[in-house]
Amino acid sequence: MSEIIKKLPSEIKKNKLKTGVAVVLSAYWGVIIVGTLISLD
């Protein structure tokens, strides 16, 4: 039981990191796409 509790924080950190990267990448691509669409008009 204590092993699981010890592993939890690192798992949460990994998931936060993955989520953060995904959010940053999608925001980055969103800005690029919006910028492209605006410049095309």
Instruction: Please write the tens of the pLDDT for every residue from 1-41.
Output: 678 778 878 888 888 989 999 999 999 999 999 999 999 87
Q: Which residues of 4-33 are buried (b: 16+ CB within 10 A; e: fewer)?
A: eeeeeeeeeeeeeeeeeeeeeeeeeeeeee
pLDDT value of residue 35: 94
d(C-alpha 26, C-alpha 34), whole Å: 12
pTM, 2 dp: 0.59
Q: Measure the CA–CA gap between 19 and 36, rounded to whole angstroms.
A: 26
